[in-house]
Structure 1
């Protein structure tokens, strides 16, 4: 028997009214997990809650969070973007190469680097929307293309950045790391796009039911161009921030970061089936990964075991999403 979406939504709303505490916990489970994690690590290590260490956690989370904000748009539509780490590296390499080897003024080089990220995202969208490739295959291909181009342009070696760009990795005064400020700015932009724009509403509609969105008049292919374009643009920004911290653009930089970005989005409460996700949840997910890695380092846990722990956390997040979706169907 077919049950309409309105009926299901009405049932879910009625359940939330009956059990407000459980509903709040379901929506903010990642935030609760972050608080528990912070309290636990502060009890286990006296160095965790120091100002220096907390600022370090913020800086560590910045690049992953910026990447994850871009990936959030894609995952809400029910897609995936495996190319963001490679696009970040390529954008940084282009910036460094243009501003040093080619002598282009660094502001123009930054704009070109951002354009490179945008073009990579649009290429992903074109392959998916018009070439009808699955997002996994299209973005996997871009992962290889972008990483290969980064290696070709740099000839496999790091390229120094102009001093003006490396200042992006500095701290204003003693307590305001610029990467953290960039992360917060990108988070606010993500929240604004998702919550206050037509494209944001369209992204949720496409993730909920792509065919229904198309029939309701949403230009799905155009919105996918916007969605993947934003993901590529955010990846370029993350690549520039990462390069500024390293004081050079490295062709192998951000390798594997795409997995951390996807993990942050899922841990933050987004659904891999689409239609669900928030900028704040993604921010919390990125913080959980950074806090977890930082705390395990303070506790002198082997890097090998750290990968095991993070893998378990990701598996639990996906399992939680699966159980939550079953409970509402």
Structure 2
């Protein structure tokens, strides 16, 4: 049996593919390559196509013995989602509907969903617990919450069991050095800071320094991308073992401010990084840090790379080796 990874040519998806291959799994990848990279898929069978194309979905399920899906395929830029929510509802929500309908047609009953802790919005407490209120402050988080709710009803109606994994900022690169983070445009803090350190950007923009935090900048949870990939594989194993549908947070339980990330990057790279303060972005909560106690207890998830210095160092090594990303050196 095989695992289908949608969005498996993307940043986190490609690391999940690598983790599955390391465990001897048969892997099938479906990605439209809008943001993903063919070179990031280290093995398995790659289909280039869109989830919203029923013929493509039926071809993938029809040609392979798939018993579980890991679903990464989605747009994920907070700022863009506030300017163009229709794009996010069409790709994220409708795309997930097409996937779930395809799974139901072909009798596939297990799905692990790459969700987001942005489903919580402004947290009632920190660290955030899975039972806390979900009230997203941006369209991206709202679509991810809608996708989770859709899975709940497909479970009730069709017995499709799901595990939804909510997390924040993935960072770092695979220990092999073969895959890392390469977005165009790049919007994630760690690679942007490293681009500034490498001289590929004149400065790093800090969006707001007047938040209710110790240094005035937003605080976020950072997790090594390979640790995230491991959690997705453990969730597949849980469903294969007869586990019921569930939601888990993934996080370190420790938050770092934007200014702290920049300072750590300065220390890791030995480079000066110029900072320019700009107005706040719409939809950005001040503090987002997740508790992962339930995932550690029930999935047996044990992150191996928890120090932010080590996470940033692995990302820096990849960017140094791939100064132009996957488009040649």
TM-score by length of 1: 0.27
More helix by share: 1
Look at both structures and tell me which one has the larger radius of gyration over its CA atoms: 1
Structure of higher RCO (CA pairs closer than 8 Å, 6+ residues apart): 1
More strand by share: 2
